[in-house]
Amino acid sequence: MIVRWAVARDCYRDSVALLAVSARLAAAAGVSRASVAMATPANVTAALEAGAVGPVDAGPTDVLVLVVADSEQVAETALADGLAALTATVDHGAAGSGSAPDEPATCIADALAGRPEGRAPSVALISVPGPFAAAEARKALDAGLHVMIFSDNVPVEAEVELKRLGRSRGLLVMGPDCGTSILDGMPLAFANVVRRGPVGLVGASGTGLQEVSTQLDRLGIGVSQLIGTGGRDLSPAVGGSSTVDALRLLGTDPATEVVVVVSKPPDEAVARRVLEVAGSLGKPVVAVLLGADVAAMAPAGVHGATTLAEAALVAAQLAGAPAPACDASGGTDPADTAATSRGDAGGQLDSGQRRWLRGLFSGGTLGYEAQLVLRDLGVTVASNAPAPGSVRLGVGAAPEGHVVVDLGADEFTDGRPHPMIDPATRDRWVAEALEDPTVSVVLLDVVLGHGASGDPVAGLVPLLASRPPGPEVVAHVCGTDADPVPRRIVVDALRRAGVRVAVSNADAAQLAASCLAAQGSRS
């Protein structure tokens, strides 16, 4: 095998763009492996382990392209193709307009320059390496733009400063580490295709917002605005700054009749402040702060929910959804409802040593919610992102007992695509769980939508379809039939592979617990 590598200098690209180039190179005849990734220390080490001749001189804003091929010619051709794809110009002209391609904007000023009158943007989406994100966000605020910061690894001190500056100027700062928003129907970053409607969502949880919005869509109710605030917004340091600002915006939005607040467990003092603001909006509010006792803190007009699906159901009812659509299953797919109502263990479980659950999640909040549901059903788990009642799984520790893994955590995504973008990491964990003679149930999620993988179960379905009798596999597909990859197609593919697909994430965790109970393996 021939190994060749090159560095594209000062060529930051987000994970979606890098994965697209990687996939293009890997598909070329004679190429056995291709990697296009930011030149983080971990990725440089991986390149050296693959056979690159070191030292690799690269920095955090450089892209490392590595190709392993059958011949020198194939390797060099693929390498050149990768570099060309990274540095290609972007056509900003309208399709069919005859406009000449422009160089892509490299700063806020360039992005704003030359915009036609009346078409000036109002929001800047920041996706640069974390150390540089705050500076770019500050430039956007100085230009009078609301800001969504997709970048992670931004110091919390910078987040506090940016949000204080944004509030002083009447501008909203979403993020850092803000994974999803839908503003006036425009999806940003990871977002599902959901109908427009009267429910406004605000949350410090990307996949939590996706789950609530897609469940609302299944109930026939649409979304007015979906505002992500960043995962640290309800921490003591940040104090719920953007959540409060977003709630007040939704309170004055004529298109929003019902508001939903979504979060992992917030700081209690921050939660009380957020709920107090929510109760002052003059509109019904549903709050699902996973792991927190909302009922004990909520003022009048704020309805508590314990799961994401329940929050969607309550919001749909408050928005006037027809009664038949608001059944306990939350769905209209008879096959889904039947799957969640089965309490037996199915025909694939072995007796004897199979007794453990392995939960493998791309969505951090979905994994967190699953832990809480399992806990309430008597299943104690270990996790790298433990919820209250769970045990912390040591870094690098081999999974033992009941385990729920957040595969989107920093230790899995440092310089690598998120599993929602590239499911390869999840598929490897699933393969190991299927081969583990002590695992009786595999629980997983598949998250669809803009930004997510274009073929999220391409590697998973053959793996599951060819497995010998062993663990039961339970899944939830977070998405809608209008997504770029329709939910029904993914659900059908999983069912044909012998997977039991639940209608919601909470239902999937309940179904997994039922399978464990049938084995006598809850604790």
pTM recorded for the entire structure? 0.84
Residues present in the chain in total: 523
3.40.440.10, 3.30.70.60, 3.30.300.30, 3.40.50.150: which CATH number matches 2-87? Answer: 3.30.70.60
Burial annotation 223-234 (CB, 10 A radius, 16+ → b, else e): bbbbbbbbbbbb
CA distance 37 to 278: 42
Which amino acid is residue 394, in one-letter code?
A: G
- The CATH fold of domain 102-177: Rossmann fold (3.40.50)
- Report pLDDT for 327: 43
440 three-state secondary structure: strand
Going edge to edge, which strands form the sheet with 31-38?
2-8, 63-69, 31-38
HSE-up (13 A, CA, CB side) for residue 325: 18
C-alpha span between 62 and 65 (Å, rounded)? 10
What pLDDT tens digit does each residue of the chain (523 aa) get? 888 888 998 887 877 678 778 878 887 899 988 888 888 777 777 777 767 766 778 887 789 898 989 999 999 999 999 999 887 744 333 333 334 345 556 678 877 876 666 667 899 999 888 888 999 999 999 999 999 999 888 999 999 999 999 999 999 999 999 999 999 999 999 999 999 999 999 999 999 999 999 999 999 999 999 999 999 999 999 999 999 999 999 999 999 999 999 998 889 999 999 999 999 999 999 999 999 999 899 999 999 999 999 999 999 999 998 764 444 333 334 444 444 433 333 334 444 588 899 999 999 999 999 999 999 999 999 999 999 999 999 776 677 899 999 998 878 876 677 899 889 889 999 999 999 999 999 999 999 999 898 899 999 999 999 888 889 999 999 999 999 999 999 999 999 999 999 999 999 999 999 999 887 655 5
Q: In what order do the strands lie in the sheet with 391-392?
A: 391-392, 382-383, 403-406, 356-361, 439-447, 472-478, 500-502
The CATH fold assigned to 181-188+195-325 is Rossmann fold (3.40.50)
User: How many other C-beta atoms can be found within 10 angstroms of the C-beta atom of residue 275?
Assistant: 25
Q: Count of CB atoms within 10 A of residue 472's CB?
A: 27
Decide whether 102-177 matches 334-519 in CATH topology.
yes
Residue with tokens 């690894």: 153
Domain 334-519 class in CATH: alpha beta
Q: Which residues pair with 223 in a beta bridge?
A: 199
| C-beta separation of 100 from 64 below 8 A | no
Give the β-pairing of 302-304 and 285-289.
parallel
Side chain identity, residue 322: P
Token pair for residue 235?
Answer: 């921490």
Could you identify the residue written with the tokens 């590598």? 5
Q: Which residues contact 468 (CB under 8 A, 6 or more apart)?
A: none
Tell me the domain boundaries of the chain: 2-87, 102-177, 181-188+195-325, 334-519
Whole-angstrom distance, CA of residue 375 vs CA of residue 523:
10
